[in-house]
Amino acid sequence: MTGVTLHTLLPVGLMVAMGGGMIWRSEWLRRTQGVNPYRLVSDDSPMGEIGRWYKMAGLITTLYVIGRLFLPLDGLVGWIHAASVPGVFWAGTIIAAGGIAFALTAQATMSTSWRIGIPTDEPGALVDRGPYAISRNPFFLGTAVYQIGLTLMMPSWLMLATSLLMAACVNIQVRMEEAFLEAHIGEAYKAYKAKVRRWI
């Protein structure tokens, strides 16, 4: 391996914590509760298209984070040297870790209502406690904070572009989810929307 430093290892560790935590909880739900949380579609629907773009941005980010362990990629992705200072890196580390903690707490709070995608056959019970009492989308909010932290740790135009793409996809997806939940849960969800903001 080349260039293995704390600056290359920490983003990998944070990425493993985020992805591993999300997958572990999803698999717990599937294996112990008999609930399939994986509801992303791969068709030509708007949700399918959003999912493809989101997964592409996530894959690019993952390959870049891991690839930095083996190759000097920073010079190839439009590194932003003005932001490449120790204070920014460590601020990004703290922000990313906080985002992970918030996102995984939100996922755990969902319990058996947790889904990845829109569960058209079983929306699950409305959750309005914990992080969901201050944000209607705390998992996405935590994920966005995590992505901002990663971008500060690895300040490049590539990270900025993938972060903006993921943010755009999430903004569209949450609006689609809200329309679905309002149609299937009804007045209880409308009342929830009235008292809790979409983000914070």
pLDDT at 13 over 80: yes
Confidence band for 174, pLDDT divided at 50, 70 and 90: very high
Element holding 116 (H helix, E strand): strand 116-117
**Contact by Cβ (8 Å): 192, 128:** yes
CA–CA distances in Å: residue 117 to residues 31, 36, 47, 51, 183: 18, 11, 8, 9, 16
CA-closest candidate to residue 192, choices 133, 117, 106: 133
**What's the confidence (pLDDT) of residue 119?**
76
d(CA 56, CA 47): 14
Which secondary structure element, helix H or strand E, spans residue 39, and what is its range? strand 38-39
- In 3D space, the residue among 181, 183, 186 whose CA is nearest the CA of residue 132 turns out to be 181
Mean pLDDT of the chain: 92
What are the pLDDT digits (tens) for 143-154? Answer: 999 999 999 999
Q: Mean pLDDT throughout 128-133?
A: 96
Domains of the chain by start residue, with CATH: 6-195 (1.20.120.1630)
Q: Determine the Cα–Cα distance for residues 46 and 172; give it in Å rounded to an integer.
A: 9
pLDDT tens sequence across 59-94: 999 999 999 999 999 999 999 999 989 899 999 999
pLDDT of residue 3: 61
Average pLDDT score over residue span 55-62? 95
Share of the chain above pLDDT 90, in %: 74
Is pLDDT at 171 greater than 80 in this prediction?
yes
Quote the pTM value.
0.92
Amino acid found at 188: A
Of residues 44 and 63, more confidence is placed in: 63
Burial class (CB in 10 A: 0-12, 13-18, 19+), 121: exposed
